[in-house]
């Protein structure tokens, strides 16, 4: 048997990025993709996602993402799409948030359960609108499930999900909304597991 390779290559246009095989605290392994601080990666991904979204013909009003890894991505995407505003679900409660809403979220890259917070000024931008959710990697769908609950609470419709990568399952849709992804990576899982034979 052969082990999972120590790096997994992905393509962002002309960029080839080797994602390192990384051990998680629970003994599982992932191919780690971290957009934080990567200006060229975010610009490339934002440009490519903007092209994919335009080609899809799906109309939406506002972009929504989660703090913090995809913030630079959604900024680049908003600029390419000519969007003036986007909404970031925060992971801590800020003193300037009025009438905040709170949601629980579980992610495979975070050891502890987390919460999302939105103040009234931000959820008013979402209410009654058609929303495109933006994320770096979609794996278990924990973030998307939290956003579906947010949509129910606030009153908006998720019509599109745009991400750089899908992981494990190459999703084409989530909760009835199409998923546009630039590439796909496997989820190696437990260290004792071997890659599938081809």
**How far apart are the C-alpha atoms of 112 and 123, rounded to whole Å?**
25
pLDDT for position 114: 77
Task: State how far the alpha carbon of 72 is from the alpha carbons of 10, 124, 184, 193, 194, in Å.
Answer: 19, 22, 20, 34, 34
pLDDT for position 16: 96
**How far apart are the C-alpha atoms of 146 and 23, rounded to whole Å?**
26
Given strand 86-89, what is the order of strands in its sheet?
86-89, 62-66, 130-138, 157-167, 177-185, 173-174
**How far apart are the C-alpha atoms of 154 and 106, rounded to whole Å?**
20
**How far apart are the C-alpha atoms of 117 and 132, rounded to whole Å?**
18
pLDDT for position 181: 97
DSSP-assigned letters across all residues of 65-88: EETTTTHHHHHHHHHHHT-S-EEE
Domains of the chain are 40-186 (3.40.50.2020)
For residue 113 the two structure tokens come to 């359960």
Q: Which of 10, 122, 130, 120 is nearest to 67 (CA)?
A: 122
How many C-beta neighbours within 10 Å does residue 190 have?
A: 10
- Residue pair 136/144 in contact (Cβ under 8 Å)? The answer is no
Mean pLDDT split into 10-residue runs, the chain, 198 residues: 86 96 89 96 98 97 95 98 95 84 67 80 94 95 90 95 95 95 90 55
Q: What torsion do the CA atoms of 151, 155, 156, 162 make, to the nearest 10 degrees?
A: -10
């Amino acid at each position: 048997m052969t082990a999972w390779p120590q790096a997994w290559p992905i393509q962002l246009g002309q960029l080839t990025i080797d994602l390192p095989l990384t051990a998680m605290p629970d003994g599982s392994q992932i191919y780690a993709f971290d957009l934080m601080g990567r200006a060229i990666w975010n610009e490339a991904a934002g440009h490519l996602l903007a092209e994919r979204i335009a080609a899809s013909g799906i109309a939406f009003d506002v972009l929504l993402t989660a703090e913090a890894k995809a913030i630079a991505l959604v900024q680049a995407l908003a600029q390419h799409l000519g969007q003036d505003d986007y909404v970031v679900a925060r992971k801590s409660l800020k003193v300037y948030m009025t009438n905040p809403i709170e949601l629980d979220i579980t992610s495979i890259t975070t050891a502890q359960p987390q919460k999302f917070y939105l103040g009234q000024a931000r959820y008013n931008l979402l209410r009654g609108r058609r929303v495109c959710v933006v994320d770096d990697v979609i794996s278990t769908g924990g973030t998307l499930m939290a956003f579906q609950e947010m949509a129910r609470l606030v009153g908006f419709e998720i019509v599109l999900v745009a991400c750089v990568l899908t992981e494990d399952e190459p999703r084409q849709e989530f909760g009835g909304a199409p998923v546009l992804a630039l590439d796909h990576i496997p989820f190696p899982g437990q260290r004792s597991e071997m890659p599938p034979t081809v």
